[in-house]
A and B are shown apart, each in its own frame.
Chain A
Amino acid sequence: MAELKFIKPELNKRTSACCGPAESMLQYANESSVSASLPVLKKNRKAYVTGSLMTDTGAVPVISTDITRSDYWEHVKCRASAFRNTYTIDPGLYAVGSPDKNSDVLVSANYKLSFDALRKALKGISAWILALDTKGINVWCAAGKGTFGTDELIRRISITKLDKVVSHRKIIVPQLGAPGISAHKVLKASGFRVCYGPVRAEDIGPYIASEYMATGEMRTVTFPFIDRLILTPMEINPAMKKYYPWFALITLAVFGLQPGGIFFRGALFGGLPFLLLGLISIFAGALVTPALLPFIPFRSFAVKGWITGMLLVIFSAGFAEIFNQVNTILLIFTYLFFPLASSYIALQFTGSTTFTGMSGVKKELRIGIPLYIGGLILSGLLLSAYKLQQWGVL
């Protein structure tokens, strides 16, 4: 397939703001032994590998820039499930198009979603992709953990003998990887100059075309509605698995336990509105709050979650007239417990955002955790009081 050669060799020699001209050409040792360190071309070849390219250091898999339907299906599964460990690719060097010694080297993670975003953005471009071993975690998170880091980058450059594959001494690292990388240390240890590319993979083309100048916009992280929505299954899943079964169990027990024994009918009819309210508070904290994040007042996630939870509880309680004949203790319990649950769940979303810092979350937790624990104890006391009242003790 004749790929359009987007990157002309001379482009690399021009000076740009972040990267000087490629350093002096190296002499090439003409070894053509297939290096075991390169990504193995397994018999069960991955669908995105379309062939292989011989280099001075051995064969490099050539990958497609098309995202197939099975790739998309993987993306959906990956977003929806909590176990994303299988969505990895082999770390190492890959080729896109027909790159040569002057072609750009783009660094990525061995997480399928990051890798797919990059190869999709490279349509019509010939380049090398160096996938670091980030244990199948995306660039941004891996950089925070340090697996997308200076040491791994230096190691991967040396394992893949990158200095023999390309003649220049420049690598393009996604800007989101910057928290894990110290560019000056990489330069010192490997001789490769790190250039930080744009934040979003789709800006790679324009970035290369504009001679490696990223605009301010390309450098800034945003957090649009769609991105926030995509991440909500990550919040709903653990909340449903971790907290809801306990909550349901306790609710059914409270309403089922009658003076004359355990009654299933009582459990179901008395408990049902509360089971629904439990779902509503998860919905409020894990879906509504993230989706409407910028429109909910206050900066604190806990407060945002509480407000959303409270509004939804009031709304649904009023709407369904659940509480027409409900007693006062249960009413207090409802307005205490469910907004707090929503608040706690919303606070967990700080892990998915692109703008919350550790000091801020620590501050929220310092104030929030005593309130959550206090609220939980009080809720327990209220439920006990309700039971005692029902049994005629109070």
Chain B
Amino acid sequence: MKYLKNVASLEVDIDACTGCGVCIEVCPHNVLAVEKRKVVILDKDRCMECGACAGNCAFGALRVDKGVGCAAALINSIISGGEPSCDCSGSNKSACC
């Protein structure tokens, strides 16, 4: 299953990448690979912007707008003006269990 085309904010800084492969290990959707000791994006449409790759790249070679892909959270943040957060526990909209 893939979500919308061409929207993911994933970006790669090839020069900073050392080809260590950590990002490949953490990505839950098999978005990344290392070819010729550099990271490549296999399929950007599979990226769900979880931020695992960017957070675990010790060399800062990846950038992604990490955030919750949750309509309720985003609508709440528009209404309240706050940061979108998947507030599962407090409100009655429970996105994840």
A297 to B67, CA, bound (A): 26
Of B2, B28, B89, which contacts A85 at CB under 8 A?
B89
Contacting pair B65 A358 (CB below 8 A): yes
Contact status of A358 and B4, CB under 8 A, knowing A181-B56, A221-B29, A352-B96: no
Of B1, B7, B88, B96, which contacts A293 at CB under 8 A?
B1
Asked if A190 lies at the interface with its beta carbon under 8 angstroms from chain B, I say no
A231 to B66, CA, bound (A): 23
Describe B's contact surface by its main secondary structure. Answer: loop
Contacting pair A357 B1 (CB below 8 A): no
Asked if A300 lies at the interface with its beta carbon under 8 angstroms from chain B, I say yes
User: A85 — nearest CB in chain B belongs to which residue?
Assistant: B89
Of A136, A219, A241, which contacts B25 at CB under 8 A?
A219
Q: How far is the CB of B3 from chain A (nearest CB, A)?
A: 5
Contacting pair A176 B28 (CB below 8 A): yes
A196 to B56, CA, bound (A): 11
Q: Mark A125-160, 1 if CB is under 8 A from B, else 0.
A: 000000000011110110111000000000000000
Asked if B70 lies at the interface with its beta carbon under 8 angstroms from chain A, I say yes
Asked if A275 lies at the interface with its beta carbon under 8 angstroms from chain B, I say no
A353 to B5, CA, bound (A): 17
Contacting pair B7 A348 (CB below 8 A): no
Interface residues on B, range: 35 or more
Q: Mark A196-239, 1 if CB is under 8 A from B, else 0.
A: 10010000000000000010100111010000000100100110
Would you list which residues of chain A between 324 and 358 have a CB under 8 Å from chain B? 347-348, 350-358
Of A299, A352, A359, which contacts B95 at CB under 8 A?
A352
Interface residues on A, range: 35 or more
A231 to B70, CA, bound (A): 14
Asked if A387 lies at the interface with its beta carbon under 8 angstroms from chain B, I say no
Would you list which residues of chain B between 1 and 36 have a CB under 8 Å from chain A? 1-5, 7-9, 22, 25-30
What are 21 A-B pairs with beta-carbon distances under 8 A?
Answer: A82-B92, A84-B94, A138-B96, A141-B86, A141-B88, A144-B86, A145-B85, A178-B26, A220-B28, A234-B95, A238-B92, A242-B92, A348-B71, A351-B86, A356-B69, A357-B48, A359-B8, A361-B70, A361-B71, A363-B4, A365-B74
Which residues from chain B sit less than 8 Å from chain A, CB to CB?
1-5, 7-9, 22, 25-30, 46-52, 55-56, 58, 65-75, 78, 84-86, 88-89, 92-97
